[in-house]
């Protein structure tokens, strides 16, 4: 009988550890950009996300994201709950765990509370997408949604564009008012909480739709989008009209393989109807970051960037957190076997 005597330890970072890392905006953007560049250069493997709906009467579902980044020598699986009524229990709508593995042996490397990772990497993807696809002189941001990812959308976008005007809207007045107040405090500039969708997004240079709808409802009207704008919709259930893709010069995704993954997504109906397809998709964002394909080429372009959330971004940001945690002496070592 052979006895396996090799000890395997893994590193655990809980929510307090992740917050103690105090990642800067630049650290978040650089880590996520590294994962995108690897994707654009063909140095990754990514599987379409999977969904688990425990009970149809529960107000939410789980997403399971899987990927591998060769330059980091890490594979990862993130499981994130998406339960839009969690605010009623004082919980974030998205709670997540990221598991990192050694791709050579399958041995676990780390378990990380990925709730903040989900929020940060989503904001970073939004901001990096805008960096390449929005007008450089974009001055007005219209943002719908006030969940955790929304904060990082606005914060990281503003770190790049330094907006003159930021408008935010969400369904519940107390939510949007608190969101605007938090942003105003942290960004040191006025943030306008608008009472409706139109006053939030009409004629904005960059429009982000991160709403929390319980069913697809076309609340964002195509006619409100001005020529030359960038629109970034990523709500779980679609809030846009079918005509939105008709006005676009370039349409970009984070990963085309995610386009048909599961029944959810802001452009689910556009893919199903053929309005967005592999033929008219301009590029994946990683290809633009890596210089394989161009981003915005004219101030006159009206562009769209749809991101569904990449396991690669979770892994890249998780790997950076793990390295910083080792340097700072944060987290716990757990014995696996």
State whether 24 and 143 are in the same domain.
no
Q: What is the chain's alpha carbon radius of gyration, rounded to the nearest angstrom?
A: 20
The stretch 216-245 carries a mean pLDDT of 93
Q: Is 24 within a domain?
A: yes
One domain, residues 142 and 53:
no
Question: The CATH number of the domain where 58 resides is what?
Answer: 3.30.1780.10
Task: Tokens for 48, please give them.
Answer: 């379409």
CB 172 within 8 A of CB 148: no
Cα–Cα distances (Å) from 37 to 32, 70, 128, 313, in that order, read 9, 11, 11, 11
User: How many domains does the chain fold into?
Assistant: 2
Write down the H helix ranges in 139-279.
Answer: 148-161, 173-187, 197-201, 268-272
Same domain membership, residue 266 and residue 290? yes
Query: Does residue 85 lie within any of the structural domains?
Result: yes
119 DSSP assignment: H
On whether the pTM is more than 0.95, the answer is no
Residue 99, domain extent: 10-117+312-335
Q: Is the pLDDT of residue 180 over 50?
A: yes
Same domain, 175 and 90: no
For the stretch 252-263, pLDDT in tens is 999 998 787 667
Check whether residue 279 and residue 152 sit in a common domain: yes
46 pLDDT higher than 80: yes
75 and 142 inside one domain = no
Distances (CA, A) of 326 to 171, 275, 322, 331: 41, 47, 6, 8
Q: How confident is the model at residue 288 (pLDDT cuts 50, 70, 90)?
A: very high
Q: Would you give the distance in Å from CA 20 to the centre of its chain?
A: 22
The answer to the question of residue 5 being in a domain is: no
Asked if 198 and 167 sit in the same domain, the reply is yes
Residue-wise pLDDT for 3-36, tens only, equals: 567 899 999 999 999 999 999 999 999 999 999 9
* Of 243, 245, 253, 165, nearest in space to 205 by CA: 165
Closest CA to 81 of 108, 126, 110, 114: 114
Is residue 126 assigned to a domain? no
Q: Are 128 and 157 in contact (CB under 8 A)?
A: no
Q: Is 194 left (phi over 0), alpha (psi -120 to 50) or beta?
A: beta
Q: pLDDT higher for 325 or 262?
A: 325
Q: Which residues pair with 79 in a beta bridge?
A: 64, 97
In sequence order, the 6+-apart residues with CB closer than 8 A to the CB of 262 are 48, 49, 50, 51
> What is the per-residue pLDDT across 66-95, written as a single tens digit (0 to 9) for each?
999 999 999 999 999 988 888 888 888 889
Token reading at 99: 């598991």
- Inside any domain, residue 55: yes
Measured CA to CA, the distance from residue 38 to residue 186 in angstroms comes to 32
Asked whether residue 108 falls in the same domain as residue 240, the answer is: no
Q: Is residue 1 domain-resident?
A: no
Q: Identify the pLDDT of residue 85.
A: 86
pLDDT value of residue 311: 93
pLDDT at residue 109 is higher than 90 = yes
The pLDDT confidence band at residue 1, using thresholds 50, 70 and 90, is very low
User: What CATH code is carried by the domain that includes residue 151?
Assistant: 3.40.50.720
Contact in structure between 328 and 18 (CB atoms under 8 Å)? no
Confirm whether 26 is domain-assigned: yes
**Token digits of residue 86:** 């969690």
Residue 289 has, within 13 A of its CA and on its CB side, a CA count of: 28
Whether residue 261 lies inside any domain: the answer is yes
Nearest to 245 by CA among 214, 218, 212, 205: 218
Same domain? 286 vs 301: yes
**Taking residues 205-216, what's their average pLDDT?**
90
**Residues 147 and 112 occupy one common structural domain:** no
Q: What pLDDT, on the 0 to 100 scale, is given for residue 259?
A: 80
Residues 214 and 229 in one domain: yes
Tokens coding 109: 């490397």
CA pair distance 329, 17, nearest whole angstrom: 10
Report the pLDDT value the prediction gives residue 2, as an integer from 0 to 100.
55
**What average pLDDT does the segment 158-186 reach?**
96
Specify the range with the lowest mean pLDDT, choosing from 58-62, 134-138, 203-207, 274-278: 58-62
pLDDT, residue 213, reads 83
28 and 98 part of one domain:
yes
């Amino acid at each position: 009988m052979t006895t396996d005597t090799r000890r395997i330890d893994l590193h655990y970072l809980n929510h307090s550890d992740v917050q103690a890392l105090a990642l800067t905006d630049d650290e978040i953007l650089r880590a996520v950009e590294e994962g995108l560049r690897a994707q654009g250069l063909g140095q990754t493997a990514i599987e379409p996300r999977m969904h688990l709906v425990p009970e149809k009467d529960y107000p939410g579902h789980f997403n399971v994201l899987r990927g591998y980044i060769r330059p980091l020598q890490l594979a990862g699986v993130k499981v994130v709950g998406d339960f839009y009524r969690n605010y009623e229990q004082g919980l974030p709508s998205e709670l997540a765990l990221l598991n990192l593995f050694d791709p050579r042996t399958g041995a676990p490397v780390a378990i990380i509370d990925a709730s903040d990772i989900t929020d940060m990497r989503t904001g970073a993807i939004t901001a990096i997408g805008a960096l390449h696809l929005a007008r450089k002189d974009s001055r007005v941001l219209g943002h719908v949604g006030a969940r955790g990812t929304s904060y990082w959308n606005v914060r990281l976008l503003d770190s790049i564009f330094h907006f003159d005007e930021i408008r935010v809207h969400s369904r519940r007045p107390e939510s949007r008012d608190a969101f605007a107040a938090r942003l105003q405090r942290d960004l040191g500039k006025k943030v306008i909480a608008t009472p409706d969708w139109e006053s939030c997004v009409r004629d904005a240079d960059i429009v982000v739709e991160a709403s929390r709808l319980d069913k697809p409802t076309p609340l964002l009207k195509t006619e409100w989008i001005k020529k030359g704008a960038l629109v970034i919709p990523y709500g779980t259930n679609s809030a846009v009209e079918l005509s939105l893709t008709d006005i676009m010069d370039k349409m970009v995704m984070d990963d085309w393989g995610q386009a048909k993954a599961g029944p959810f997504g802001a452009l689910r109906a556009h893919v199903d109807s053929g309005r967005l397809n592999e033929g008219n998709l301009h590029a994946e964002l990683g290809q633009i970051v890596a210089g394989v394909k161009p981003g915005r080429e004219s101030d006159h372009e009206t562009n769209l960037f749809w991101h569904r959330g990449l396991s690669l971004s979770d892994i890249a940001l998780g790997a950076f957190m793990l390295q910083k945690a080792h340097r700072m002496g944060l987290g716990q070592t757990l014995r696996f076997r």
